[in-house]
Amino acid sequence: MSANEYIQRLFGAEDEVLQAVRQSIIDREMPTISVSPEVGTYLTMLVKMSGAQSVLEIGALGGYSGICLARGMSEDGKLTSLELEVEYAQLAHQNLIGAGFGGRVIYRVGEALVSLQQLEAEGEKFDLFFIDADKGNYVNYFEWALKLANPGALILADNVLWGGRVYDQENQEESTQMLRAFNEKIASDDRVESMLLPIGDGLSVSRVK
Ligand SMILES: C[S@@+](CC[C@H](N)C(=O)[O-])C[C@H]1O[C@@H](n2cnc3c(N)ncnc32)[C@H](O)[C@@H]1O
C-alpha cells in the first residue's frame, strides 16, 4: 500500500452527497477529474482554519471541490466559482443547491482570465483561492490571486505533483513544465510563504504575506 492509499483510507471517506456528485459527473460522461476525497476533506479544513469568508474557485467541473470549500465557510460566506463550460457550471450549481449551498455560490462562465479581469474591475477581494483549471495558466492564476487577495489570504492549487511527472526529469511535456514553473515560482516568490503537500495529486498552499 502506498502512503497516499493509506491516507485516503483513513481520511478520504466520502459522504452520500459527495458520492452523488461523483456519480452525476459519470452519468453525464464528463471528465472524472474532481479533487481526491482527502484533498476535499483538507479544503474544508483550510477554509475553516483560515476563517475565509470570500472564496474564489477556478475550475468548477461538477461542484465537488465547491461543496468541500462551501462546507468550511460560515453561513455568511460566499463562494465565487469560475468555469469555462456552461453545462459544467450548471451541474455544479445544481449539486451545490442539492448540498444546501445554492444561496452562497455564484458561477461565472467563460475564460477564467476574463472573469478575473472583471472581478478586479468590480473591486472584488478574496480570502482564499483554489486553482484547479487549465494547468498552463497556473502561474497567471497565481498572479491574479495575488492581485485579488486580502492580506493573509491563502492560495491553493491542485495537481501540482501531476502524477509524479513534475519530479521526473525525463518528462518534458508542456503541462509538466508549466506545473514545474508554478511550483518553482511559489517556492521562491517573496510575496508568499508556501508548502506543497503530497496528498491526492499534490496540493500547494501559499499564504500571502
Ligand atoms: C480539474 S477540473 C475542476 C475540478 C473541480 N475543481 C473539482 O475538484 O470538483 C478543471 C475544470 O476547469 C475548467 N477549465 C479549464 N480551462 C478553463 C479556463 N480557461 N477557464 C475556466 N475554466 C476552465 C474545466 O472545464 C474543468 O471543469
β-bridge pairing 203-208 and 149-158: antiparallel
Q: What is the pLDDT of residue 89?
A: 98
Residues with a CB atom less than 6 Å from ligand 1: 33-35, 59-61, 64-65, 82-85, 88, 111-112, 132-134
pLDDT digits (tens, 9 = 90+) for 169-201: 999 999 999 999 999 999 999 999 999 999 999
User: Which atom number of ligand 1 is nearest to the Cα of residue 92?
Assistant: 9
What is the residue-averaged pLDDT of the chain?
Answer: 97
pLDDT tier, 37 (very low <50, low <70, confident <90, very high otherwise): very high
Triad 72, 78, 80: Cα angle to 5°: 105
User: What CATH architecture is 3-208?
Assistant: 3-Layer(aba) Sandwich (3.40)
Least Cα distance to 73 among 50, 97, 98, 41 occurs for 50
Q: Which atom of ligand 1 is found nearest the CA of 35?
A: 8
Please write the tens of the pLDDT for every residue from 96-143: 999 999 999 999 999 999 999 999 999 999 999 999 999 999 999 999
Q: What is the mean pLDDT of residues 70-79?
A: 97
Cβ-proximal residues to 201 (8 Å cutoff; 6+ apart), any chain: 36, 39, 158, 159, 160, 161, 162, 163
